[in-house]
Chains A and B, each alone.
Chain A
Amino acid sequence: EVQLVESGGGLVQPGGSLRLSCVESGFNFRNHYMTWFRQAPGKGLEWVANINQDGSDKAYVESVKGRFTISRDNAKNSLYLQMSNLRGEDTAVYYCAGGQGWLTRYWGQGVLVTVSS
């Protein structure tokens, strides 16, 4: 059974930084495209970023370009999201997800990021 477990969330002040991590077990991590999604309070699901199998291709939603960086370590079955210059509108539950190409099959349970002074 596939398991994706996120960590690293918490409360951070506006302008601050946070690094989210996601560890996979139960499927062949290095063969899968990986994605971060988020859902802000009272809002819908939003794609944030994704990364291909070897980390050579990355894409971001416009609102996080230049502030967030997605990366992966296939040796550790891990996905990361480095978030900097955080804003109130980045407050959300962040989900790690994976699949084939841009089709997402598996989701983690999510981790809460709160940006507030």
Chain B
Amino acid sequence: DIVMTQSPDSLAVSLGERATINCKSSQTVLSSSNNKNYLAWYQRKPGQSPKLLISWASTRESGVPDRFSGGGSGTDFTLTISSVQAEDVAVYYCHHYHSSPLTFGGGTNVEIK
């Protein structure tokens, strides 16, 4: 199984500041056949279901603000919020869909300082 490890567990950021979340997979999630990273980022606000923010490690979903960006390849990935807003308070999860079983990171709780 591919183990997804996120850091930090929790992050307190001032409004307008940058937030960076790290995600490391125990095996590569880069496919050699199509050179794509099978890595997604989800945002989960209190009382809601997860919302897809980023797919293929760096492709922002339609309607997602451009302050959210994803990067990395292979086994090391990041989600960056360039200027945190109040509505970004949530838990963020990385998730691989490279092979079975699909797995998630433990989540990073982003709050406002």
Counting CB contacts under 8 A, is B103 at the interface? yes
A44-B107, A45-B93 known; A103 vs B55 contact (CB < 8 Å):
yes
- B49→A107 contact, CB < 8 A: yes
Interface residues in B30-60 by Cβ distance below 8 A to A read 38, 40, 49-52, 55
B68 at the interface (CB under 8 A from A): no
Does more than half of chain B's interface fall in helix, strand or loop, or is it mixed?
loop
B73-113 vs A, Cβ < 8 Å mask (1 yes, 0 no): 00000000000000000000101010011111111000000
B97 touches A104 (CB 8 A): yes
What class of interface size applies to chain A in its complex with B? 20 to 34
Min CB distance, B58 to chain A, in Å?
14
When chains A and B are docked, how far (Å) is the Cα of A108 from the Cα of B61? Answer: 18
Q: How many residues of B contact A (CB 8 A)?
A: 19
**Which residues of A are found within 8 Å of B52, using beta-carbon distances?**
99, 103-105
Q: Judging by beta carbons under 8 Å apart, are A44 and B104 in contact? A: yes
Give Cα A99–Cα B51 distance, bound, in whole angstroms: 12
Contact of B49 with A109 in the complex, beta carbons under 8 Å: yes
B102 partner, pick from A62, A102, A107, A109, beta carbons under 8 A:
A102
Contact assessment for A47 and B49 in the assembled complex, using a CB-CB cutoff below 8 Å: no
Chain B nearest CB, measured from A65 CB (Å): 11
Interface residues of A in 84-108 (CB under 8 A from B): 95, 99, 101-105, 107-108
Contacts of A35 in B (CB 8 A): 102
B residues near A (Cβ < 8 Å) are: 38, 40, 49-52, 55, 61, 93, 95, 97, 100-107
Known pairs A103-B38, A104-B52, A107-B49; list 7 more (Cβ under 8 Å).
A44-B107, A45-B50, A45-B93, A45-B107, A103-B55, A107-B51, A108-B49
Enumerate the 10 nearest inter-chain pairs by beta-carbon distance, A residue then B residue, closest first.
Answer: A107-B49, A102-B97, A47-B102, A45-B104, A59-B100, A61-B101, A105-B52, A103-B97, A44-B106, A107-B50
Q: Please name 15 pairs of A and B residues whose Cβ atoms are closer than 8 Å in the assembled complex, sorted by A.
A: A35-B102, A44-B104, A45-B107, A47-B101, A47-B103, A50-B102, A59-B100, A61-B101, A62-B101, A95-B49, A103-B55, A104-B95, A105-B61, A107-B49, A109-B49
